[in-house]
Structure 1
């Protein structure tokens, strides 16, 4: 039996900032204040920011109150998203023209946001920036590419998402209020936004954030060594469960792997927290059903490994799960020879 060893370059320790810098901070007061002003008007933004931040002692808590408020009060506007997507498709590969249009369009998005509390990603990022600025917290919009299970990219894809970088205690951090806010679901074939606050994208670790957020300006990945755009485009699909449980996939590098029948693929990942091995599973699907792989994860040098030998030919989807939350998805194509 032959083995396929798929090795990743893992950025486990980087000099940039991430949420673990504030491990001693309890954000419950900031979150409580954000809930206290739930539904507040955006028409007097300075007053709202004053109310959210004044009772809080630290810069990071003030920003947390702003971020939580935005993510729990602003509805993701599917119509605005569709308009941006349509414009992107019309402009095609002319990235400069699209970015110029996006810059002109942003103020209009902000006006609609103030009136209706609805926006696509540009509006979320714009609002976070404006509110942070009123609190004298440096914050900027980061434009780039995002990947999800339903958004496939190529090397020629135009930027399709916006998020924020924020400077706290002199260091830059990354966050995505749009993805923290909830999700758009189909209700009788009509897109409907569902609020569901997700904390994992608040000051996320850059080495994990880069798995589904790739900035136009590489320096705003906040990584010492930035993986190539091709690695990002071809990588596995990483879900919000990875951010919730702080699990970083490290192997295979690519979403799709091609092997020969009876070869074994090694799936590896790391976590900054201690995981319950019983809750860590890999499921393999053939398009009709999913089956749990009967192999327990092996922990060595802080790396978890799950191996699986493919004894049948075909195309298989593999889903890494923890506590029933999907962490990452891979595809394995098994050939006879």
Structure 2
């Protein structure tokens, strides 16, 4: 007779909204890896799966009109008066405080305490007083359960040890009712509690006990064992009052309690053992949330959809309820094994489950109300998916959050997998996402310790293909998780997690690739980094004076740049110039000291005269040693607009009295003049597009001026200072 319930409330603590900087999920090393994997291929764009094939199947289930409802035999038992009195008893804190203060030394003393508190109270209140004392004071005897060595389960024995199995709970409850002359029976039967999932076939002997009580001419059920607590994953008893099991509805209890004597089912139509074994496990939360299991209807077993590698569970839920799920095999969660979608058109939840191997899988559906202060989802439905033959093309699902469906995102590639393999020198994973025009995406790559991989992702909108390109580059071999976060452009709040993929990296090349931080304008302007290629850090040569970045840009785009140290811009520390021979931009950065620096590149179209340049890409620079710090000459806007270049001198501070060669490229100028010691030198040494000559440095600054049309004044181009 020793028996116990399993964890009726099975917490799954997951935040609905994870901020962009906290979009983490734990990697379970026992996860079964899905057979379908994705090897990165930058040329493939797959079509999105909309699950439209399932619409016909779903419509058939929704059109069924002859569903059989399990009804309570006594239609008046749960009238409004009963429901109100029961709730009032549960809410009576005075009862609870009084009962919790009791310290009876004998069973007889306990009876007197109950009689005293129950005097003049309703039968419902009297039963609640007994139920509450039993639930708070009797501990489930797990030693007896697992050793099968059941101690004295009489009311006296249970009171003395404050322990018992279900028989002991039932016996002491009946004894206390008898002392108050309240009709009570102990019911023997079968339960879907601890160990039920491991059972093969129907039980032949009763394995559980509870009570039936008569109140005002109506019979009700009482389950004080399950009302007292549960077994945790370590098979230890955890006391946790569950008032659901105080006078529950028989048509709900039948999903996990089948009396041996069918009269104690208290149902209009008794349920037989074979039907009971086929019924799903519907937990108290299922009824509290007013859920409706549409398919499978009143069955615990779920089959794969015909011709598909997945099973489909359909659930109708109120608008203020959210659902999630998991899929387990041998008590190990299968990552990528499920996807839950709310079908707004049909107002139902579509729950997809994809097996990874043969075996008896356990499906659990969790739920909670939207307005709940807790982020905890609790178990509502448990189903079984028994896979004897694997489908020809197994699939898996990436992890998704509500934001994925709320913003109508679609994964274009990779399809039908949550797991991306990188091997044989492959450096990065590529994920393609389609999103509405008013949605922005952001990326993050975490390692197996849930730490962010610095410069490990690059996410941008490809205007030509109308698709989001999401790149993720692991920095070493191992397991990683790639998060894609999203928000509406009009939303001032943070990005929150929308979807994630697992990445297995093997034989990552050294050095690994990394991504500089880019802005959408980088891609809108059609820019391309030539060097450093696939690196977030610019190259610094020990003993050098400056670092270089080379970029390609369309003819109508001009670039500029800046260098920062400790977020402070270094004056004359950068130079953006255009190499007219190679048709690339050369961006130079001269640090003043060792340490970490930030290199920013700005861009704009030359035709855009109204707005200033915006940052398009940012690199890091780690300066370890400087041979000789330097300053670049002051550059005026016309220098970048007309795509000029300085060969020499790059040093912006010239020595007084020295002779320096000046060699610059100044395309298409009408006149080029130099101002040296307040004297003008016009067009000497300039032949379009090259200015080349020797110059005697005086005591004042030297400025190069340029004129592009007759009638226009000279415009400053470059200025050197003199020391």
1:82 aligns with 2:146: yes
Structure 2 residue aligned with 1:124? 169
TM-score (norm 1): 0.77
What's the offset of the Cα at 1:228?
1.9
**1:165/1:172 contact within 8 Å kept:** yes
Counterpart Cα distance in 1 of 2:89 and 2:232: 29
Q: What does 1:141-180 align with in structure 2 at a 5 Å threshold? A: 141-148=186-193, 150-152=195-197, 153=199, 154-180=201-227
Q: 1:310 to 1:133 in 2, by over 3 A?
A: closer
Q: Give the drift of 1:268.
A: 4.2
| 8 Å CA contact 1:314, 1:333 repeated in 2 | no
Answer with 40-49 or 115-124: which moved more: 40-49
1:48 counterpart residue number: 113
Equivalent positions of 1:1-337 (< 5 A) are 1=53, 3=57, 9-11=68-70, 14-16=73-75, 17-18=77-78, 22-25=82-85, 26-28=88-90, 32-38=94-100, 39-41=102-104, 42-44=106-108, 45-54=110-119, 56-83=120-147, 85=148, 108-148=153-193, 150-152=195-197, 153=199, 154-185=201-232, 191-242=235-286, 244-245=288-289, 247=291, 249=293, 251-252=295-296, 253-259=298-304, 260-262=306-308, 265-268=312-315, 276-285=318-327, 287-289=333-335, 291-296=338-343, 305-308=348-351, 317-323=362-368, 324-332=377-385, 336=391
Match of 2:570 in 1: none
Describe the superposition over 1:262-307 as per-residue Cα deviations: whole angstroms up to 9, x where unpaired. Answer: 38745346xxxxx6534331425364226441124788xxxx8433
**Stretch of structure 1 that moved more, 237-246 or 174-183:** 237-246
Structure with greater proportional strand content = 2
Q: What are the Cα deviations for residues 27-65 of structure 1, in whole angstroms up to 9, with x where unaligned? A: 1575532431325324324313213312x5311111111
Deviations 1:134-181 (A, max 9, x none): 122111100000003642342243211100101001100011000000
C-alpha deviation, 1:15, in angstroms: 2.8
Residue of structure 2 equivalent to 1:102? none
Shift of 1:117: 1.2
Deviating more after overlay: 118-127 vs 253-262? 253-262
Q: Distance in 2 between matches of 1:284 and 1:28?
A: 33
| Alpha-carbon distance between aligned partners in 2 of 1:325 and 1:135, rounded to the nearest angstrom | 37
| 3-state SS of paired residue (2:385) | strand
SS at match of 2:69: coil
Q: Which runs of 5+ in 2 are unaligned?
A: 1-52, 369-376, 393-723
Contact kept? 2:301, 2:386, Cα under 8 Å: yes
| Mean CA deviation greater in 199-208 or 12-21 | 12-21
Distance 1:108 1:310 in 2: 43
Find the residue that maps to 1:113 and give its secondary structure.
helix
SS in 2 for 1:332: strand
Relative to structure 1, the CA distance from residue 251 to residue 130 in structure 2 (aligned partners, 3 Å threshold; closer, same or farther) is: farther
Q: Per the alignment, do residues 231 and 167 of structure 1 end up closer, same or farther by CA in structure 2, a change over 3 Å counting?
A: same
RMSD over equivalenced CA pairs, Å: 3.3
Change in CA separation of 1:64 and 1:245 when aligned onto 2, cut-off 3 Å: farther
Contact 1:165 1:173 in 2 (8 A): yes
Asked if the contact 2:186/2:212 (under 8 Å) is kept, the reply is: yes
Structure 1 residues 277 and 168: CA distance shift in structure 2, 3 A? same
1:118 offset after TM fit, Å?
1.0
Question: C-alpha deviations, 1:209-245, integer Å up to 9, x for none?
Answer: 0000000001100001122211211222233433654
- Structure scoring higher RCO (CA < 8 A, sep ≥ 6) equals 1
> How far off is 1:23 after superposition?
2.2
1:158 and 1:292 map into 2 onto residues whose CA distance is: 39
What SS class does the counterpart of residue 23 from structure 1 fall into? helix
CA contact (8 A) 1:183 1:194 kept: yes
Normalized per residue, the structure richer in helix is 1
Secondary structure at the aligned position of 1:65 is classed as helix
Give distance in 1, aligned partners of 2:354 and 2:145.
43
